[in-house]
Amino acid sequence: MSVLSERVKKLRNAKRQSQNEVGKALGKSRETVSKYELGEREPDPEAIILFAKHFNVSTDYLLGISEQAETTTINERKPYSPELYAFEKYLHNESFIPYLELAVRMKDSNIDINQFEKLINKIIKNKPLK
């Protein structure tokens, strides 16, 4: 059994997922995940990347190059500046994306932010628009 097969099985069990659940998450069959875990089949580079993303570990860890299982998260990195760090956190928040798209459209359309703010306040307060 290879390091990769042992680690995939260990990570799957730690996450309390079945081979079928992992297979679905990776776009693979349960049988394929089983063969990876038994060492009967070696995953291609794309599959290794999918495993790393799914289990939030580095590919180096999966391949036995590193013993550190955890990947560095945004919160553990030192930001270049507080503003960039805050912006990066927003970019990882899916619910923020529509607001970012709106801001870009406003900028591209040369909409005056003060006019837009008045419009939003009227909508929020349920006042009829004039």
Strand partners, 130: none
Domains present along the chain, CATH in parentheses: 3-63 (1.10.260.40), 75-124 (no CATH)
Coil/strand/helix, residue 57: strand
Region 43-72 average pLDDT: 85
- Asked whether residue 69 carries a pLDDT value surpassing 80, the answer given is no
Region 98-122 average pLDDT: 73
Region 78-91 average pLDDT: 68
pLDDT at position 83 is 72
- Asked whether residue 74 carries a pLDDT value surpassing 50, the answer given is no
Residue 99, CB-side half-sphere exposure with 13 Å CA sphere: 8
CA distance 87 to 77: 14
pLDDT over 90, % of the chain: 35
Q: Model-level pTM?
A: 0.53
pLDDT at position 128 is 54
